[in-house]
Chains A and B, each alone.
Chain A
Amino acid sequence: MAEERIGVYVCNCGTNISKVVDVEAVAASAQAIPGVAIGRAYKYMCSNPGQEMIVQDIQEHGLTRVVVASCSPRMHEATFRGAIKRAGLNPYMLEMANIREQCSWIHSDVVAATEKAKALVHAAVQRVKFDEPLESRTAPMCASTLVIGGGVTGLTAALELADAGQQVFLVEKQDHLGGNVARLDLTAPHLDSAQDILQSWISRVERHPNIRLFLNSELTALKGFNGNFKPTLRTEDGEPLELDAGSVLVCTGYKEFDASRIEQYGYGRLPDVITSFELEAMLRQGKLETKSGKQPRYVSIIHCVGSRSQEFHRYCSRVCCATALKYALEVKSALPGARVANLYTDMEAFGKGCEDFYRQCAEAKTSFMMYAKDQLPTIRAAAPGDGCGMLITIKEQLSGQEIEMPADLVVLMVSMEPREDAGDMARLVNISCDKDGWFIESHPKLDPVATTTDGVYIAGACQFPRDIPESVTQGRAAVARILAKVAQGQITVDAMYSEVQDKLCAGCQTCFSVCPYGAIEYNAEKHISHIISAVCKACGCCAVACPAGAIKVRHYTDEEIYAQIEGVL
């Protein structure tokens, strides 16, 4: 240990740190720690001159390890690892002491904050002494992709991948492609036919040499890891089929809310209360009529059925407003004498062209009535003398009036919700669901189609209510991610992962049950656990749970942790 020469760099972060922490005192106190060769303070360590200072010191003073006391490692660890790597050190010979988020930003007492900063730096110095040089490794990347779900998102993604020359396995549970879009008549706001949109893609998918289509099939198991998955399908003929796929793209879509759950709408009880999808079917057949075969004179469309509700789904289903506007126009076009009313809570015509669509719909003399989210309208059958089939009672918000609205046909804009098998799918491909049951993305803004499992991507309305353009965009975004990996030809495995020390492992499989990433395999022959380094995220759960202490987390060894604790005390 005597030959170690450690450099300690204390960052002012402009005045972010230096206004509360005496940085010069911290640098001076670090210099006094045995093994520390240099202690310096500087304005911005992350700046180019700051990094250059570290590089030069390593080269001139022969530093072997480096401590940077600055911001959170989440911010700049990669920056400083890069800097010391440029100077010839192993990038893992670096520790960061977070004296900004964990010190200067949260304290105001200069003396106490400076003491705390000294302690944090001391801990980092003690830890860095035990850091081991680590190397990242590579694994092969299989170019083919498993796409789960043959809706508009899956079709887009499959075609995009196949056109790029890659093999695609497209798995669809139903006996036809198209998903929920295949159930639609026209699409908002341009009133293009959904069938036209789908048909060209479906026929291309069916004929594409790079796409193997599995209808009436589903995924039953997924083994392997990023770049090297081994999915098992149950195919149409009932036979299990194992494939090789480098990436998995989940685009399983959504299902509609069960409207009968809202008692006062009378769905299932009143024959002419129908869901949006039932109206789509009527429109597609060109047969817009009540159950008794009459042309409806008064059509009411109720928005937010199951959406934006404390009782059912708190989220907004996003596509229903524009769809409801579309219905108003389609009904008007089919039955020019009909009067259409939209009973809404808030009008969310957010999509491109949808505000104009809203205006167009108003110009077609559709009426809009606002109800409160906690005061749903009620529907009842009308009396013979009322001149209509049903009466809707609504407490209209803008006028404050309680209004009885005549209706012959009531359309419920049912919300989108996760499929009932979304949880099973999540377990199969090892991704997570949020409280509503939607699949969780890696980062809501910066990484919207990746998941916490490398190599598994999500796109379209399985992640959250999406309209067609968004689903298509997401499908293509996922393809871009996959093709980037394929272009690299191999996957890089992070140097930080857990390892089982075979001799100490008793084969109890406790680690297997705690691993959140499915990174642990059990070797039945040797009776020991094995960690797939490519899947492991070095979270450390298994190391903590292992009763024999047989698991070592690289870069988080017991020695390193103990030294850090000793150091801070």
Chain B
Amino acid sequence: MAVRANPDLIEELDHFGAHDAMKCYQCGNCTAACSHAEDASTYPRRSIHYLQMGLEKPLRSTLDPWLCYYCGKCSEQCPRGAEPGETMMGIRRWLTAEYDFTGIARRLYKSWTAELAAVLALALLTGIGFLAFGFLRGGGNLAVYDGPGAFLPAHSVHIFDWTMGITLAILLNYNCVRMWQFTMRNENALPVRPGLYLRHLLLLPEHFFTQKRLRACENKTPWVTHMVLMFSYLTMLALIMLFLKDMQSGPQVNWYVHFFGYLSAIGLVTTSILAIRGRIKKTEPYQQHSHESDWMFLGLLLFVSVTGVVQHVAHRMGMPTTANVVYVIHMMGVVPMLVLEVPFSKWSHLAYRPLAIYFSALQQAARAEGAVPFGEPAKPRPAA
């Protein structure tokens, strides 16, 4: 079956950061240099070739870009300066937009002004909303931070957090289902029986928590910073979602909130500063090219971490008004960051990467069992 090419695909991908893909002349040095490429997944070469030829559908159905961790070896080896690593990064952004059914991701990635406007609008909305809530339905007094008359009572914020969390999780999950449809239910994919889905299910938590594929890259630094960032983030998430009451209960704060809170705050601030510094100085190969969305993500992360710390310091130093004001400012960063990043941008890869490893393992298992792609007629059973 002939695949219709979309010659405009390369222009589309240009907006997602794949600026140099057309320089590639398919020598394959990138694939040879990659420590992850296998016979079945000859990336980055294959994905770049799909892109060059405008093969939109095959590119949408490939898992390869998620299996690449951008160590940058390929870009160092490329004789044409085609930046295969950055091209894979661009394809990942494009895939995020493709998986997203709302079309918001595409708009944010393609337009810096749209992204900025969305962040500012959400921040403004959050600020106004929280202030209005504090004055009208909350404690009503900006000078009370904790205790019974708190300006923003913990249980109300808690309800808000959970509402937002569940909404975002639903959106992300729906995008994950679309990812499954694109990558596992196309004519070149192999049908996978339910038993296999079950048997390999543990791959998801395994790769989510260890990120061992990233560790397999030659350069180990990204794995370390990435792990620190992710665990700091998860710790903070757990504290906020499950122990928010303890964080704001009164002058007396539980030891574990302190301990884990400080640990994760240090992790978040340090890694975001390191990442921003790396991108400014272009230290690592993967920091050579930065898309607008990269700056936005890191900027918001640092903003949220720092305002979180400041709010805590103000609280501990007995400055409840400052603490309340900074809390609102903090939330003006948190809400846009999570709403935009989790289902529509950078944070979504937390879901897509383990899923891609899982799906790819399922495809391998199905191949080992002799499954035939959807698009091909079933093999006749060998005569008994």
The residues of A that contact B25 with a CB separation of less than 8 Å are: 347, 358, 362, 368
B53 within 8 Å of A (CB atoms): yes
B3 A298 Cβ-Cβ under 8 A: no
Closest to B54 in A: A367
Most buried by A among B24, B49, B58: B49
Given known A-B contacts A362-B23, A365-B22, A399-B55, A393 and B7 have beta carbons under 8 A apart: no
A404 within 8 Å of B (CB atoms): yes
A420 within 8 Å of B (CB atoms): no
Given known A-B contacts A339-B8, A362-B23, A367-B22, A398 and B49 have beta carbons under 8 A apart: yes
Within 8 A of A (CB), among B23-76: 23-26, 46, 49-50, 52-55, 58
Most buried by B among A341, A364, A401, A406: A401
- Nearest CB in chain B: distance from A338 CB, A: 9
Proximity bits, B11-27, A CB within 8 Å = 1, else 0: 10000000000111110
Bound complex: CA of A6 vs CA of B78, how far in Å?
Answer: 72
Closest to B188 in A: A401
A241 within 8 Å of B (CB atoms): no
Bound complex: CA of A339 vs CA of B53, how far in Å?
Answer: 11
A399 B4 Cβ-Cβ under 8 A: no
Most buried by A among B4, B5, B11: B5
Closest to A298 in B: B7
A362 B22 Cβ-Cβ under 8 A: yes
A197 within 8 Å of B (CB atoms): no
* Pick from A359, A364, A367, A402: contact of B52, CB under 8 Å: A367
A396 B53 Cβ-Cβ under 8 A: yes
The residues of A that contact B8 with a CB separation of less than 8 Å are: 339
Bound complex: CA of A339 vs CA of B12, how far in Å?
Answer: 12
B119 within 8 Å of A (CB atoms): no
B309 within 8 Å of A (CB atoms): no
A369 within 8 Å of B (CB atoms): yes
A403 B2 Cβ-Cβ under 8 A: yes
Proximity bits, A328-361, B CB within 8 Å = 1, else 0: 0000000000010100000100000000001100
Bound complex: CA of A339 vs CA of B8, how far in Å?
Answer: 7
Bound complex: CA of A347 vs CA of B46, how far in Å?
Answer: 20
A374 within 8 Å of B (CB atoms): no
A403 B55 Cβ-Cβ under 8 A: yes
- Nearest CB in chain A: distance from B187 CB, A: 12
Within 8 A of B (CB), among A377-401: 393, 396, 398-399, 401
B7 A367 Cβ-Cβ under 8 A: yes
A362 B80 Cβ-Cβ under 8 A: yes
A399 B7 Cβ-Cβ under 8 A: no
A398 B58 Cβ-Cβ under 8 A: no
B5 A365 Cβ-Cβ under 8 A: no
B335 within 8 Å of A (CB atoms): no
B384 within 8 Å of A (CB atoms): no
The residues of B that contact A403 with a CB separation of less than 8 Å are: 2-5, 53, 55
* Pick from B26, B54, B80: contact of A398, CB under 8 Å: B26
Bound complex: CA of A358 vs CA of B52, how far in Å?
Answer: 15
Bound complex: CA of A162 vs CA of B7, how far in Å?
Answer: 53
Within 8 A of A (CB), among B351-376: none
Given known A-B contacts A403-B5, A404-B3, A406-B5, A365 and B55 have beta carbons under 8 A apart: no
B383 within 8 Å of A (CB atoms): no
The residues of A that contact B23 with a CB separation of less than 8 Å are: 359, 362-363
A198 within 8 Å of B (CB atoms): no
- Nearest CB in chain A: distance from B5 CB, A: 5
Bound complex: CA of A362 vs CA of B46, how far in Å?
Answer: 17
Given known A-B contacts A363-B22, A368-B25, A399 and B53 have beta carbons under 8 A apart: yes
Bound complex: CA of A341 vs CA of B22, how far in Å?
Answer: 11
The residues of A that contact B26 with a CB separation of less than 8 Å are: 398
- Nearest CB in chain B: distance from A97 CB, A: 56
A114 within 8 Å of B (CB atoms): no
* Chain B residue total in the interface (Cβ 8 A): 23
* Pick from A359, A362, A364, A399: contact of B49, CB under 8 Å: A399
Given known A-B contacts A362-B25, A367-B53, A398-B26, A404 and B5 have beta carbons under 8 A apart: yes
Closest to A339 in B: B7
A399 B50 Cβ-Cβ under 8 A: yes
- Nearest CB in chain A: distance from B32 CB, A: 15
A366 within 8 Å of B (CB atoms): yes
Chain A's interface size range is: 20 to 34
Closest to A388 in B: B7
* Pick from A358, A359, A396, A406: contact of B7, CB under 8 Å: A406
A359 B80 Cβ-Cβ under 8 A: yes
B2 A404 Cβ-Cβ under 8 A: yes
The residues of A that contact B5 with a CB separation of less than 8 Å are: 403-406
A402 B22 Cβ-Cβ under 8 A: no
Bound complex: CA of A481 vs CA of B49, how far in Å?
Answer: 51
Closest to B26 in A: A398
B329 within 8 Å of A (CB atoms): no
B10 within 8 Å of A (CB atoms): yes
The residues of B that contact A406 with a CB separation of less than 8 Å are: 4-5, 7
B1 within 8 Å of A (CB atoms): yes
Given known A-B contacts A341-B7, A405-B7, A399 and B46 have beta carbons under 8 A apart: yes
Bound complex: CA of A401 vs CA of B61, how far in Å?
Answer: 14
The residues of A that contact B11 with a CB separation of less than 8 Å are: 339, 365
Closest to A405 in B: B5
Given known A-B contacts A359-B23, A359-B80, A362-B22, A401 and B55 have beta carbons under 8 A apart: yes
Bound complex: CA of A403 vs CA of B10, how far in Å?
Answer: 16
The residues of A that contact B50 with a CB separation of less than 8 Å are: 399
The residues of B that contact A347 with a CB separation of less than 8 Å are: 25
Bound complex: CA of A404 vs CA of B4, how far in Å?
Answer: 5
Proximity bits, A238-253, B CB within 8 Å = 1, else 0: 0000000000000000
- Nearest CB in chain A: distance from B52 CB, A: 5
Most buried by A among B3, B7, B8, B25: B7
* Pick from B3, B10, B54, B80: contact of A402, CB under 8 Å: B3
Within 8 A of B (CB), among A396-438: 396, 398-399, 401-406
- Nearest CB in chain A: distance from B8 CB, A: 6
- Nearest CB in chain A: distance from B206 CB, A: 33
Closest to A398 in B: B26
Bound complex: CA of A157 vs CA of B103, how far in Å?
Answer: 66
Within 8 A of A (CB), among B161-184: none
Bound complex: CA of A341 vs CA of B5, how far in Å?
Answer: 11
Bound complex: CA of A402 vs CA of B1, how far in Å?
Answer: 7
Bound complex: CA of A367 vs CA of B6, how far in Å?
Answer: 11
Within 8 A of A (CB), among B181-215: none
The residues of A that contact B1 with a CB separation of less than 8 Å are: 402
> Which B residues are within 8 Å of any A CB, using their own CB?
1-5, 7-8, 10-11, 22-26, 46, 49-50, 52-55, 58, 80
A-B pairs, top 7 by smallest CB distance, nearest first, are A339-B7, A402-B2, A365-B22, A404-B2, A404-B4, A362-B23, A405-B5
19 A-B pairs (CB sep. < 8 Å):
A339-B7, A347-B25, A359-B23, A359-B80, A363-B23, A367-B52, A367-B53, A368-B25, A369-B53, A393-B2, A399-B46, A401-B53, A401-B55, A402-B1, A403-B4, A403-B53, A404-B2, A404-B4, A405-B5
Known contacts A365-B22, A406-B5; 14 additional CB pairs below 8 A are: A339-B8, A339-B10, A347-B25, A358-B25, A362-B24, A365-B11, A366-B22, A367-B53, A368-B52, A398-B49, A399-B50, A403-B3, A403-B4, A404-B3
